[in-house]
Structure 1
Amino acid sequence: MRSFSRLNSMQTKLTLTFLLILLPLVSVSIFANYYSQSIMNEQISDRTKGALLTTLEYIDQLTQNMDQQTLLIASNPNIVDIWKGIENPLSPDHLYGIHTVQQQLTALTNVNGAVKDAFIIHGESGNGVSTLKGGIKWPDVKKDYWFQQTIKGSGGLVVYVPTRESRNPSLYMSEDMIYYMRLLDVLSSTREPNVMVLAVDKRSFQKIIQNLQTSINMNITLLYNDGFVLETNPNSENLHKEEPFSITVKKGEWSMRLEQPREEVFKLSHILQQFTYLITAISIMLAIWIAWLVYSSISKPLQQLSGAFKQFSSGNLAFEVVHQRKDEFGFVMNGFNRMAAAQRKMIEDDYEKELRLAKAEFSLLQSQINPHFLYNTLDSIYSVASSNRIPEISEMVINLARFFRVSLGKGRDSFTLAETVQHLMYYMRVQQIRKDHFTEEIELDEATKELQILKLLLQPIVENSIIHGLEQSPNEGYLCIRSRIVEDRLYVEVEDTGVGIPEDRLQEIIMEMDKITSKSYMSSPDKPTSLYYGLKNVKSRVKLYYGGDADLLIDSQEGKGTKVTLILPMGKEGHT
C-alpha cells in the first residue's frame, strides 16, 4: 500500500508538471491569435471605413450637384412661366414653348453625362415632355408614390430609387435609374403640382463604388434611407458560408455596407495561426507521449490490478489479468490469477450446492399448486355428469379439467400472457357457474400479450380476489385483469370490487410480504406458513425466478375492493 501510494503521488506530480508546461503554451498561443486578429481587424476596419466614407462623400456631392441643377431649372422663369396656368402642355397652342423647354433640358443632359434623361410632368393633365421620349402622357400620375412624395416635399429635393418591390411602379421609370425630383416654381408661395425630374444612371454610381472592389468575393451595397440602391457583386456565393466580415458607414441619407469572407480578410494572420497551432499540437503530442511512458511503466499495471480486484469483488469470478510482463508487476499479477482461481473453485462448489437447493425448493413450490392427480378424477366426473345430463356440472368440470390440463403445461415452465389469461378464464368460469356473483374484464396491452411469464403466477391472486373479495360482497362485482409496459417492466394488475382488506390486516400482509426476497429461500430453510400462503408462494416464485427487481404490490380499501400488482422486469429469464 505504501508503494502504491508513493507511485500514485508520483503520477499525480508528473501529471501536474505536464499540465503546468502545456497550459502556458496553449494560453500564449490563444492570446497571440486573438491579439493579432484584433489588431488586424482594427486596422482593416479603419482603412475600409475611410475608403467607404470618401466614396460616400463623392456620392453625396453628386446628390448636392443634382440639388443645385434641379433648383436652377425649377426657379428658371423661362421654364416656369410656360407651365404655369395651362391645362394641357401638349396642346397645339403650347408646342413652341414646350419645344423650348425640351431644348433647355437636352442642353443640361449634354453637359452632365451622368444625367440620362430629364422631363417635366404637368400634374393636372399628366402630360409632359422628356429629353428621350419627347411628349409623354402619364395618366393618373397623381397616384404614383414618387409624385406624392414630391408634392409633400414642398419644393425640396426628393430622391427616388425604384425597385421591384416599389409601391405603385411608374410607367416611365426604370430600376436602372436614380431619380432626383422637385416641384417647379419653388420661389412661388402658390405652387402648381408640376414636377421636374432628372434621371441619373446607376452605372455612374457603380463605377464610383467599383473602385473599392478588391476581391471577387467582396460585395459592396449602396443604400439610400436604408433602402437598397445597388450592389457590386450580387452573385457572390462564398459570403454565406460563414458570417462575413462586415462594415457599414453612413453619410447623410446615403449609406454603404461592405461584406467580405473573413478568411480573405485575415489571410495574413492565418499563417501565424497555423504556426501557433502547430507548436501547440507538438506540445500536446509530447505531453501525451511522456504521460504514456509513465502510464505504461507504472500506472497501467497498477490500474490492471485494481480493476481485477474490482471485477472479482463484484462477482466476476472468471476474470484474469492478461499480461506478458516479466518484472515484479508480472509476478504480482500471476499471484492474483492463482489466488482468483483457487477462490473461484471454492465459490463454485458452494454455489452448485445452493443452486441445487434452490431448484429443489422451486420444484416443491410448483408441485404444490399443480395437482396432477386431479385431472383423471375430473375426467371421470365429467363423463358421469354428461351421461346424467347435468350441464352445469359438465361445464364446470370441463373448464376445471382444461385448467389443470394447462397447469400441467406439457413440461413448459412459462406461457405467454395471453395464454395465461385464457387459462384463468377456465377457472373464473368454474367460479361463475358455482356462484354467479361477478363479471370479468380483460384489458391487455397488445405489446404484452406475447410476453412469456412463469405459469400459475396469477392463479392464486385471482383465486384470492374471488373467494376472499367478491364472494364476501353482498353486491355483484367485477374482476379486471390489466397489463401494460412501463420503463422496461411488465405490470399485471388484478383488481376486484369485493369487500377489500381492513387496514390493520393489510399492513400485516405487507409486512409479511416484505420479508420475502430473492435470497430468502436459499439462505433460510424455513418454509412459508399457511398464513397468506398463496401470496407468499407467488412472491417467492417471482423473487426466486426473476430476481430482486421483481415485486408484488397490494393496495386495498375496506368496502371498495383490492388491487394486486405484479411487476416483472423485461428481459429477465421467464419472459422476454
Structure 2
Amino acid sequence: MNVITKVILLIVLIVTPIIGLFAYTNQQSVHVIEDQINTRNEEKLSYFLNEIERLLDQNMMYATLATKDPEIRDVSFGNLPPSGYDRQNVIQSIQSKLRLFSITNQVMNVISVYFPKSDLSLSTMSSAIFGQAEVQNQFTANWKLNKVDVNGVQMEAFSRYFFSPYQVDPHNLMNADLIIRVDFFTQNITNLLDGFTLAGHSDAFFYHSPDQVVYSSKANTELIQQVMKLYPLDQYTSKTKSYDIVKIDGKKYLLYTLASSKMDWSLVDIEPLDQILQPVVVSRNLFYVILLLLLLFGIVSALLLYSHIHVPIRILIRGVEHIKNKNFAYQIKSRRKNEFQQLFDSFNGMAVEIDQLLKRVYTEEVRSREAVMKQLQSQINPHFLYNCLAYIVNMAKMNKNQSVIAMAHNLGDYYKYTTRNESLVTTLRMEIDLAISYLDIMNSQLDKLAYTITIPENMLDFQIPKLLIQPIIENAIVHGLEDKLEDGVIAITGMADQVCRLVIEDNGSGLTSDALQMLRKTTGQEVNISERTGLWNVNHRLKYYFGEHSGIQIDHSALGGLRIELYWEIVEKEGAA
C-alpha cells in the first residue's frame, strides 16, 4: 500500500463517522418535523371539520326553531285563513320569520316550508319552493349534495328535510303537519376551505366520492385528480382518520383524511412534504457539498504529495528496472522544475549511445516484420490451387478446351484480385466479380452449384473492405453444400436505404439451434477462439471500417441452410471507386 492510498484511506476513515452522525441526526430531525406536521394538521383538520359541522348544526337548529314557532304551528294544523288580507298577512309573517332565521345564520342557505294540510309552500327564495312531488322524490333524512335553482342558476348545496311531528312514518310524509327543507350551499364550505388553505401549503377539499367533491376556490384540482386516480380515497375515508405518504410525479405528499361524525363525508388535506422539508433538505445538501469540498481538498493535497515526491521516485525506479532488463532505449521524459529534473537528465544522458544502437536494431526488425506481412498477404490456398490445376489437367486430357479456358480465366481473375496488396479497400462491384469467379471455379469442380445475384445498381460502386463476400461463400460451399448429393443454391441479395444490407443464403445442411447460437457468440467476441476465422474476420473488419453500427447477422435460411446478412451504415467515405 503506497503513501497516496494510505492518506486517502485516512481521509475516508475521518469523514465516514461524520457522515454517519449527520445522516442519523438529519433523519431524526425529519422524523420530528413530520410528527409535528402530523399533529398540527390533525388539529387543523379537526378544527375546520368542527366548523363545517357547527354550521350544519346551526341550520338544523333553525329548522327545529321553525317547527316550534306558534304561528307556523298554527298553520301546520290547517288554521290558515282561506283567502283575503288575513291569509296574505299570515303568509308574509311566516316568510319574514324564515328570512330572519336565514339571516341570523350568517351563511348562504335557503329555508323552505311545506304545509301538507294546506298544500302551501313558503321559502326564503321563491325559486326554491317545493311541493308534494319534490318531497316524495327527494326526501332524505341526512345531508345530501344536490343542485338548487337560485333565480335560474343551478348551485350546489347540501340539502336535508325535517318534519313535525317526529313520529310520522318517513314513507308517508303527507301525514306530517309540516315539512322543512334546509339548503346549505357548498360555497360556505368553500369559504372555510379557503381559510384552511391560507393557514399552510395544503390543498384541502371535502370528499364523499370521486364525483362529489367540494374544492376550495384556489385548489390545485389537477393534483387532487391525480391523487384520487392513483390512490383511491375510499380506502382512507372508510376510517375515522388516516395518514399516508403518497408520491405524485416524483414528489412526496402527506395525505390526511378525517371523517365527519354527522354526515358521510370526509375532510381531506394534501401537504407537499418536499416543500415543507425544503429548508432541511437545503441544509443537508449544503453540508454534503461542504463535506465533499473538504474531501476533495484532502484528496488534492494527497495527490500533490504523490505527484511531487512519490511519482518521481517511481519514475526513477521504473527507469532502473528497464535498464536492468536490457531496455537501454528507455528515456525519462518527465519535465519537473525541481531537484528531480537533474537526476532525470543524468539518467537520460547515460542511455543516449545505447539508444541509438537499439533504434537501428529496431528499424531492421520492423522491416523484417513488414516483409513477413507482405509474404503472408501473397500466400494462396495450395489445396484450392491444386484442385483447380488438377481440373485443368483432366479437362485437357479429355480435350474439353472451353472448360480449360474458362477455368484458367476464372482462376487468373481470382488470384489477380486476391494477391493485390496495394489497397485493402475495393468496390462492391469488384467483390461481386470475385464471388462470380469463385462460384464458377467451384461449379466447374462440383458441377452442382447454381447462384443468383440481385443487387441494385446504386450499391455496386460503394466502397467496402476487400474479401468480405468470398469467405462467406467458401464457408457455405465447404461446410454446407459440398457434401450434399442434391444441387446447391446460393442467393446473394442487396438492398440500400440508410443502411446497406447484403444477404447471402444457401440451401446447405445448415446448423442446429445450439450450434447457431455458439457461432453467433464466437463471431461477436473481441478475440477469436474458434478454428473458423472467416466469419469472425468479416464481422470485425466491417466494424473497423464502418463503425459499431455494422457487422453480420447469422440465422436459419428459408432455403434450408444459413442466412448471413452483412449490414453497414452509408457514410461519406463511401462512393464511386
TM-score normalised by length of structure 2: 0.58
Work out whether 1:39 is the aligned partner of 2:32: yes
Per-residue CA shift, 1:233-258, capped at 9, x if unaligned? 32699999944565544442454344
Residue 44 (structure 1) shift: 3.9
**Residue 144 of structure 2: aligned partner:** 160
Q: Secondary structure at the match of 1:184?
A: strand
Residue 58 (structure 1) shift: 2.8
Q: Secondary structure at the match of 1:179?
A: strand
Work out whether 1:230 is the aligned partner of 2:215: yes
Work out whether 1:178 is the aligned partner of 2:157: yes
Q: Secondary structure at the match of 1:31?
A: helix
Per-residue CA shift, 1:131-182, capped at 9, x if unaligned? 122674789858xxxx85x53x4xx3x22345xxxxxx55459676532311
**Residue 452 of structure 2: aligned partner:** 441
Instruction: Go from structure 1 to structure 2 and tell me whether the alpha carbon gap of 1:474 and 1:280 turns closer, same or farther (over 3 Å shift).
Output: closer
The answer to whether the 8 A contact 1:115-1:201 is kept is: yes
**Residue 183 of structure 2: aligned partner:** 199
The answer to whether the 8 A contact 2:206-2:266 is kept is: yes
Cα distance in 2, alignment partners of residues 264 and 565 from structure 1? 59
Residue 457 (structure 1) shift: 7.2
Work out whether 1:452 is the aligned partner of 2:464: yes
Cα distance in 2, alignment partners of residues 330 and 259 from structure 1? 73
The answer to whether the 8 A contact 1:221-1:257 is kept is: yes
Cα distance in 2, alignment partners of residues 9 and 304 from structure 1? 14
Over the matched positions of the two proteins, sequence identity in percent amounts to: 13
Residue 63 (structure 1) shift: 2.0
Q: Secondary structure at the match of 1:191?
A: helix
Residue 203 (structure 1) shift: 5.0
Q: Secondary structure at the match of 2:143?
A: strand
Larger deviation, residues 224-233 vs 51-60: 224-233
Instruction: Go from structure 1 to structure 2 and tell me whether the alpha carbon gap of 1:96 and 1:272 turns closer, same or farther (over 3 Å shift).
Output: same
Residue 230 (structure 1) shift: 3.1
Cα distance in 2, alignment partners of residues 76 and 400 from structure 1? 128
Instruction: Go from structure 1 to structure 2 and tell me whether the alpha carbon gap of 1:20 and 1:127 turns closer, same or farther (over 3 Å shift).
Output: farther
**Residue 504 of structure 1: aligned partner:** none
Cα distance in 2, alignment partners of residues 541 and 178 from structure 1? 79
Residue 188 of structure 1 is aligned with which of 168, 185, 191? Answer: 168
Cα distance in 1, alignment partners of residues 206 and 110 from structure 2? 22
Amino acid at match of 1:14: V
The answer to whether the 8 A contact 1:481-1:493 is kept is: yes
The answer to whether the 8 A contact 2:11-2:295 is kept is: no
Q: Secondary structure at the match of 1:365?
A: coil
Amino acid at match of 2:101: L
The answer to whether the 8 A contact 1:424-1:459 is kept is: no
Instruction: Go from structure 1 to structure 2 and tell me whether the alpha carbon gap of 1:159 and 1:293 turns closer, same or farther (over 3 Å shift).
Output: same
The answer to whether the 8 A contact 1:396-1:429 is kept is: no
The answer to whether the 8 A contact 1:403-1:424 is kept is: no
Instruction: Go from structure 1 to structure 2 and tell me whether the alpha carbon gap of 1:72 and 1:188 turns closer, same or farther (over 3 Å shift).
Output: farther
Residue 207 (structure 1) shift: 5.1
Cα distance in 2, alignment partners of residues 445 and 320 from structure 1? 58
The answer to whether the 8 A contact 2:255-2:270 is kept is: yes
Cα distance in 2, alignment partners of residues 430 and 273 from structure 1? 78
Residue 113 of structure 1 is aligned with which of 106, 124, 136? Answer: 106
Per-residue CA shift, 1:396-419, capped at 9, x if unaligned? 968975885586459766533443
Residue 427 of structure 2 is aligned with which of 410, 416, 419? Answer: 416
Amino acid at match of 1:221: A
Work out whether 1:294 is the aligned partner of 2:305: yes
Amino acid at match of 2:378: S
Amino acid at match of 2:159: Y
Amino acid at match of 1:160: K
Higher RCO (CA 8 Å, separation ≥ 6 residues)? 1
Q: Secondary structure at the match of 2:213?
A: strand
Cα distance in 2, alignment partners of residues 80 and 244 from structure 1? 54
Per-residue CA shift, 1:255-297, capped at 9, x if unaligned? 4344555576457757865774575355324423432333323
**Residue 336 of structure 2: aligned partner:** 324
Matches within 5 A, 1:463-502: 465=477, 475-481=486-492, 495=506, 497=508
**Residue 13 of structure 1: aligned partner:** 6
**Residue 519 of structure 2: aligned partner:** none
The answer to whether the 8 A contact 1:75-1:187 is kept is: no
Amino acid at match of 2:336: Q
Residue 359 (structure 1) shift: 0.5
Matches within 5 A, 1:273-422: 273=284, 276-277=287-288, 280-281=291-292, 283-301=294-312, 321-324=333-336, 326-328=338-340, 331=343, 335=347, 346-365=361-380, 401=409, 404=412, 408=416, 414-422=425-433
Cα distance in 2, alignment partners of residues 299 and 161 from structure 1? 82
Instruction: Go from structure 1 to structure 2 and tell me whether the alpha carbon gap of 1:478 and 1:46 turns closer, same or farther (over 3 Å shift).
Output: closer
The answer to whether the 8 A contact 1:480-1:496 is kept is: no
5+ residue gaps in structure 2? 225-247, 390-399, 511-526, 545-558
Residue 322 (structure 1) shift: 3.8
Amino acid at match of 1:225: H
Amino acid at match of 2:214: V
5+ residue gaps in structure 1? 1-7, 163-168, 375-391, 501-516, 519-534, 550-559
The answer to whether the 8 A contact 2:191-2:216 is kept is: no
Per-residue CA shift, 1:377-429, capped at 9, x if unaligned? xxxxxxxxxxxxxxx98899689758855864597665334432244335656
Q: Secondary structure at the match of 1:297?
A: helix
Residue 18 (structure 1) shift: 1.0
Residue 218 of structure 1 is aligned with which of 197, 201, 219? Answer: 201
Cα distance in 2, alignment partners of residues 44 and 112 from structure 1? 34
Q: Secondary structure at the match of 1:181?
A: strand
Cα distance in 2, alignment partners of residues 267 and 12 from structure 1? 38
Residue 196 (structure 1) shift: 3.4
